[in-house]
Each structure stands twice: as C-alpha cells, then as structure tokens.
Amino acid sequence: MKSGMEFKTAGGHRRGRSLSNGNGLLMNSRPKTLLLVEDDDGLSTTLVAVAEALGYEVRTCDSAKDAIEMAAAFKPTLVFSDVHLQKGDGRTVLTALRADEVLRDCQVVLMTGDWVGASRQESIDAQADDYLAKPFSVEEFIACLNERYRQANL
C-alpha cells in the first residue's frame, strides 16, 4: 500500500512530498539538481563530471551574485558553494537562499580551505547544512552529495 507523507521544517515550511512504495524506496522525490558555485575551474570541472555521472543536472557559476540569480531561476535541490569566491562570499549565497520562501529548504554545503577561527564560526552561524574542508577527495564529495540529497527527501 502506498502512503503519502508531507514533511515540514521546524518553521512549518513544506519540505516535499514523499511516497513510499512499501520497500522503503522513495517515489516522487525531489529532482537531482545541483548548483555549484566555485571559482576554481579545475575543481569545478571535476565536481561537475562526478555529479553528472551520478545523474545530477548541474549548473555552475563563479560569483555570489550569479549564484543567487541562478538559484532563483533553477531552483536546485542542492547548492555547493565555495566560501571565498573572487566575486563575493558563499555565506552571502547561503543567507540569500535562507531568506527566500521558495529556496530556503534547499540543502546548502559550504566548501572552504580556510577552515579555522572566524570563517568556520561564521559558516556555522549562517546555518549551512554541511561543510567540506578543502582539499577533499572525490569520495568525500560523493558521500556529502548523497547524504544531502537523502536529507532533501526526508
């Protein structure tokens, strides 16, 4: 028997609709969409290739301003953003997404090589869903991507 459940965040916002097929598998789950905000072309190329191989539709940009505009149009399920961009800051992207009625529930991962002191605390205070400390392995990226997608469908 199929059952439908609607999940809400602590603030009462709808997280999505999940239907179980009786085997614990989710049907009608959120789309596998990823917005990658990264200004290192080499890293961006690698992460896009990995995510696409896992079935994600990926959009990329390299600035906070472009990320906010692209997220509004694309409505991604997941956003992975570098913290220190040449054009802006990943925490600015996170703050804008959390303030947006439609985008506030997307899973956001901040990535940074500067993972000490104030930078880490500011990221925690901004309410990111997860963090990746650079350099990270492809396996760490995949594990984080899979876990964030799983969380998006709860």
CATH number at 41 reads: 3.40.50.2300
DSSP 31: P
Cα separation, 64 vs 22, in Å, equals 42
Query: What predicted TM-score, i.e. pTM, was given to this entire model?
Result: 0.80
Q: What pLDDT is stored for residue 12 in this prediction?
A: 37
Average pLDDT over residues 65-87: 96
Which ranges in the chain belong to alpha helices (H)? 41-53, 64-74, 90-99, 117-125, 138-152
Domain span at 21: 1-29
What's the pLDDT tens digit per position in 4-24? 333 333 333 333 444 444 444
Residues 56 and 15 in one domain: no
Residues 14 and 81 in one domain: no
Residues 81 and 117 in one domain: yes
Residues 36 and 16 in one domain: no
Residues 68 and 119 in one domain: yes
Average pLDDT over residues 23-40: 80
Residues 44 and 4 in one domain: no
Cis geometry, peptide bond prior to residue 135 (ω within 30 degrees of 0):
yes
Which of residues 36 and 121 earns the better pLDDT score? 36
Q: What pLDDT is stored for residue 79 in this prediction?
A: 98
Residues 62 and 15 in one domain: no
Residue 142 has pLDDT above 50, yes or no: yes
CB contact at 8 A, 77 and 59: no
What's the pLDDT tens digit per position in 100-127? 999 999 999 999 887 665 566 777 777 8
Average pLDDT over residues 17-46: 76
Q: Which residues contact 149 (CB under 8 A, 6 or more apart)?
A: 30, 32, 77, 78, 107
Residues 38 and 92 in one domain: yes
Domain count, the chain: 2
